[in-house]
Structure 1
Amino acid sequence: MKLNRNLNFFSVFSMGFADVGADIFIALGVIAAYAAGLTPLAFVIGAILYVCTALAYAELGSAFPVAGGAATFARKAFGRFWSFVAGWGLILAYVLDIALFSIVGAFYLNQVLHLEVQYVYMVGATVILGLMIINMLGIAGSAILNNVLMVFSTFLIIIISILAYFLLFDPAFLFAQAQTFLDHGSWANFAYAVGLSSIAFIGIESITQAAEETKRPSHTIPAAIKVVIMLVVIFCLLISVLSVGSVGWGVLADNKENALVAFAAQIPTYGNALVLVTGITGFLVCVVSANSGVIGASRVMYSLSRNNLLPRALSWTHPKYKTPWITIFIFCALALPLLVVKIDILSGIYALGALIAYILINLSFIQLKNAKYDTMYKVPLVIHMNFRNNDYKIPITGVIGFVACVFSLLAVVLPQRMTLIVGVSWVTIGIAIYYINGRYSKGQPVPEEESLIVSDVDKRDPTILIAFKLRPHERHIIDIASDLAKEYKCGVTILHVIETPMIMPIWEKLTDEMTLEKKREMEILEEWLKGTGIDVSIEFHPARDAVSGIIDYIETHNVKVVILGELEGKSSPTVEQIRSSVDVPILTVRNVLVSSSVSASG
Structure 2
Amino acid sequence: MADRERKKLEKSLKPHWVWAIAFGSAIGWGAFVLPTDWIAQAGPVGVVVGLSLGAVLMMIIGVSYGFLIEKFPVTGGEFAYAYIGFGRTYAFVAGWFLTLGYICIVALNASALALLAKFLFPSFIQTGNMYTVAGYDVSIIQVAIASAALIVFALLNIRGASFSGQTQFVFSLILILGITLLALGALWTEGPSITNITPAFSPEKSVIASIVTILAIAPFAYVGFDNIPQAAEEFDFAPQKAFRLIIWSLLAAGLAYSAMILITASTMPWQELLQQIERTQSVWGTGDAIQSYLGRVGVWLIALSVCMGIFTGLNGFYISASRLTFAMGRARILPGLFRKLHPKYRTPYVGILFTMGVCLIAPWFGREALLWVVDMSSTGVAIAYFFCTATAYKFFHWKKDPSNSNRKATVDPLRKFLSLIGMLSSLCFLALLLIPWSPASLGRESYIALAVWILIGLIFYLLNYKRYSHIDRKEMNYLILEKEEI
- Please state which band the TM-score falls in when normalised by the shorter chain: 0.7 to 0.9
* C-alpha displacement of 1:300: 0.6
Equivalent in 51, 76, 90 of residue 98 of structure 2: 90
Q: One-letter code of the match for 1:437?
A: N
Q: Distance in 1 between matches of 2:426 and 2:451?
A: 17
For the residue of structure 2 that corresponds to 1:231, the secondary structure is: helix
Name which of 349, 355, 358 aligns with 1:325. 349
Counterpart in the other structure of 1:472: none
Residues 46-85 of structure 1 mapped to structure 2, 5 A cutoff = 46-85=54-93
Aligned with 2:385 (options 358, 378, 398): 358
For residue 448 of structure 1, what is the aligned residue in structure 2? 477
**Residues 5-20 of structure 1: matches in 2 within 5 Å?**
5-20=11-26
Task: Flag the 1:240–1:56 CA change in 2: closer, same or farther, 3 A.
Answer: farther
- Contact 1:316–1:324, Cα closer than 8 Å, also in 2: yes
User: Secondary structure at the residue paired with 2:319?
Assistant: helix
Structure with greater helix share of residues: 2
Q: CA deviation at 1:290?
A: 1.4
Q: Does 1:287 align with 2:311?
A: yes
Q: 1:282 to 1:59 in 2, by over 3 A?
A: same
The residue number in structure 2 matching 1:100 is 108
Relative to structure 1, is the Cα distance of residues 436 and 450 closer, same or farther in structure 2, using a 3 angstrom cutoff?
Answer: closer
Choose the corresponding residue for 2:417, options 396, 400, 403: 396
Q: Deviations over 1:471-506 (max 9, x none)?
A: xxxxxxxxxxxxxxxxxxxxxxxxxxxxxxxxxxxx
1:273 to partner: Cα distance: 0.4
1:215 to partner: Cα distance: 0.5
Number of aligned residue pairs: give it: 439
- Call closer, same or farther: CA 1:218–1:454 in 2, change over 3 Å: farther
Structure 1: distance between partners of 2:223 and 2:41 = 19
Preserved contact between residue 64 and residue 455 of structure 1 (Cα < 8 Å)? no
Larger radius of gyration: 1
Cα displacement string for residues 148-206 of structure 1 (whole angstroms, at most 9, x for unaligned residues): 211112111111122224445433332x3225x35766976764443224322111111
Match in the other structure for 2:287: 261
Is residue 104–residue 258 contact of structure 1 (8 Å, CA) maintained in 2? no
1:357-436 alignment, distance < 5 Å: 357-370=384-397, 384=398, 393=413, 395-413=416-434, 414=436, 415=441, 416-436=443-463
Residue in structure 2 matching 1:205, options 226, 229, 236: 226
CA drift of 1:454 comes to 9.3
Which residue of 80, 104, 125 corresponds with 1:116? 125
Q: 1:238 aligns with which of 259, 264, 269?
A: 259
Maintained 8 Å contact 2:393/2:419: yes
Distance 1:440 1:96 in 2: 28
What letter matches 1:85 in structure 2?
V
Greater relative contact order structure (CA < 8 Å, 6+ sep) = 2
Closer/same/farther in 2, CA of residues 431 and 262 from structure 1, 3 Å limit: same
- 8 A Cα contact 1:192 1:412, kept in partner: no
Match in the other structure for 1:573? none
Specify the SS of the correspondent of 1:395: helix
The verdict on how the C-alpha distance between 1:186 and 1:347 changes in structure 2, with shifts beyond 3 A counting, is farther
The answer on whether the counterparts of 2:55 and 2:251 sit within 8 Å (CA) in structure 1 is: no
The 1:169–1:49 alpha-carbon spacing in structure 2 relative to 1, beyond 3 Å, is: farther
1:136-175 aligned at under 5 Å gives the runs 136-167=158-189, 168-174=191-197
AA paired with 2:308? L
Deviation at 1:49, TM superposition (A): 2.8
- Partners of 1:173 and 1:447 lie apart in 2 by 58
Residue 224 in 1 paired to residue 223 in 2? no
Residue 277 of structure 2 is aligned to residue 277 of structure 1: no
C-alpha deviation, 1:71, in angstroms: 0.9
Query: SS at 2:199's partner residue?
Result: helix
Aligned-pair distance for 1:68?
Answer: 0.5
Contact 1:109–1:282 (CA under 8 A) maintained in structure 2 = no
- CA, structure 1 residues 454+237, in 2 after alignment: closer, same or farther (shift >3 Å)? farther
TM-score (normalizing by structure 2): 0.81
**Structure 1 position 369, deviation (Å):** 2.3
1:28 matches 2:35: yes
Distance 1:350 1:248, change over 3 A: farther
Change (3 A) 1:249 1:452: farther
Cα displacement string for residues 344-384 of structure 1 (whole angstroms, at most 9, x for unaligned residues): 424412322211211222222212224xxxxxxxxxxxxx3
Q: How does 1:513-528 map to 2 (within 5 A)?
A: none
Hey, what does 1:525 align to over in structure 2? none
C-alpha RMSD of the superposition:
3.0
